[in-house]
Amino acid sequence: MSLLKKSELFNERLDRFNKALCCFGTPDRVPIFPAIEQWAPVYAGVSIIEAYQKDPRLLVNAFRKAYNDVYIDACYGTGNLIPLKMMNTFGEGIYTVNETTVQIKGSHGCTMQPEEYPELIADPEKFILNKVIPRKYSSLAKDDKTTITTWLKGTVGMVDWFLYDQITKELIERQLDTPVVQKGATFLPGDLMLDFLRDFVGVSQDIRRRPEQFHDACEALLPFTKKLADLSYFGSKTGGVVFMPLHLPTYLRPADFEKHYFPFMKATAEHIQGTGKRPMFFCENNWDPYIEIITDLPGNGTYCYFEHGDLKKNHEILRKAKICMGGGMSAEILKTGTREQCIDQAKWCLDNLAPGGGYMFAPDIVLLSKNDVNPENFSAVCKYIHENGVY
């Protein structure tokens, strides 16, 4: 982040966000913190491919349009999730990109066989570099000279992406007076196994047939995933959040979650907080069976964004643990409901989730396409929360 002084409005919004996140008393208002980074360009009629590669001002102006119409206190990031130039150089990846969206594929293929667990456990980085990456990207499995050339070209694309993203974030903060709070990202070991190595079927079988090896692999991967969090965190040594999408947990029995997943979730959160940053977990699906378990996460700076579940009960439990919660606003109601129905749901969020602090208002999904919500309804509920969510 630039050392140049930000505006009074920017600092007011950042203070509101940080007080809610860290559960240090209550902020002046309930922060409005929806995940709209891919929705904003589509809503503004801007091509995502052009916005993420051609000119940062295209993306900034898309956010300007969205923020003029919908009140927002803080921005997750730019939505520019992957270095497109690098991925185009390497070839097949785990994302699909078109003019309107960037989405992770539903299944990415198994790049590791079960008999290779000992090799992964012995040296995860060596195994991923020498075995997994060439299997995933055929362009990196050729002769040494060709592979080196491809790596160098990909690295240039990675640097271009990083600089482009940093410029975009700075412009958003300076021109739109809105904090961009996501400063890094990583995967937890179980999700790395699911998304990149064994796929859903493989992980499901491994937890039943070879649970010790799965657990040992997650333990071996933990230093690597911590390193990913640290390396992704450019531009500022402290502050902001490190984003982690949690894909595996709700497919696990609570006992398996507690044994094979949560220890690494907790260790990662402690590591991130220990380096002056804040862990942010996107908790997909229904987390009711796991709520009591995750109260053992470090408080005063951990953020969990929920899609579904008994959010009123969950907030009461997490607030005692000083863990901040986000979500609560039904995207389905925003999409199909009347303005009155939407305001009623927003009022429910204030009445049931906001008391005591530790809550940020947001739709219950990440908004990706223009049709995910009715923009007029979305604008109405954010205005209602901003005007009425006063502590």
Domains in the chain and their CATH numbers?
Answer: 1-32+178-186+232-391 (3.20.20.210)
**Residue that the structure tokens 């071996």 belong to:** 220
**Residue that the structure tokens 């190595």 belong to:** 197
- What is d(CA 257, CA 249) in angstroms, rounded to the nearest whole number? 6
Amino acid at residue number 42: V
Please compute, for residue 262, the number of CA atoms within 13 A of its CA located in the half-sphere on the CB side: 20
Q: Which residues of the chain have pLDDT under 70?
A: 1-5, 84, 92-109, 233-238
Q: How does strand 324-329 pair with strand 102-104?
A: unpaired
CA distances from 136 to 59, 277, 368 (A): 31, 32, 26
Q: Give the number of other Cβ atoms within 10 Å of residue 272's Cβ.
A: 25
**Residue that the structure tokens 């919908």 belong to:** 70
The residues, ordered by sequence, that sit 6+ positions from 257 with a Cβ below 8 Å of its Cβ are 249, 289, 290, 293
Question: 146: phi > 0 → left, psi -120 to 50 → alpha, else beta; which?
Answer: alpha
What is the reported pLDDT for 3?
Answer: 47
**Whose CA is closest to 133, among 123, 124, 141, 122?**
141
What is the reported pLDDT for 63?
Answer: 96
The residues, ordered by sequence, that sit 6+ positions from 112 with a Cβ below 8 Å of its Cβ are 120, 127, 131, 132, 197, 198, 202
CA distances from 98 to 47, 50, 101, 283, 336 (A): 8, 10, 6, 26, 26
CA distances from 229 to 93, 206, 338, 368 (A): 20, 26, 42, 24
Q: How does strand 95-97 pair with strand 241-246?
A: unpaired
| Tokens of residue 60, six digits | 């900034």
**Whose CA is closest to 194, among 143, 245, 235, 124?**
245
Q: Model-level pTM?
A: 0.90
